[in-house]
Amino acid sequence: MKVTLEEHTNPLHIGRYAGICYGREGNNEKRIKHIIDVGHLSCLRFSMAVFKVSGVSRVCLAQLTRSKFLDYLVRGSRYCDESGCELLTPETLGNKSLPLSVKERIMSFKAEIEQLLQTVAPIIFGDGDALQK
């Protein structure tokens, strides 16, 4: 798994935003410390961070996206070229990973589905550019 922090809110902006609650402006660093010390954590909801996560299974992705406090953009497997993707086997299986024949069948099935989508998409969507490679 690879996780990259792409962008985040400047912490000083959170202090400035919290000033709205107190009707004044002032030292943003001091205000951040104050809102944390007094438990006024609702101000922290106005912060954001964007992470790029790759190399995870669909099962892991399903677990990550269960939080109601976070928002997600997920790379669509229908619209992206997935030919370079590999089948991920959970580390918890250890040496009990799937036999090569099963992996080959899964990847073959995946390729067949992708080919079917490429064939059917123009019929469904009415143009050849519906599924981009």
State the average pLDDT over residues 49-69. Answer: 80
* Residue corresponding to tokens 């099962």: 59
The span from the CA of 115 to the CA of 109, in Å, is 10
The span from the CA of 132 to the CA of 116, in Å, is 14
What is the pLDDT at residue 130?
A: 46
**pLDDT confidence tier of residue 88, bands split at 50, 70 and 90:** low
Distances (CA, A) of 59 to 6, 11, 26, 50, 89: 23, 33, 46, 21, 11
pTM, full prediction: 0.53
**pLDDT confidence tier of residue 133, bands split at 50, 70 and 90:** very low
What is the pLDDT at residue 106?
A: 72
Please state the domain extents for the chain: 1-74, 80-128
What is the pLDDT at residue 79?
A: 72
At residue 2, does pLDDT exceed 70?
yes
Vertex 114, ends 100 and 82: CA angle to 5°? 70
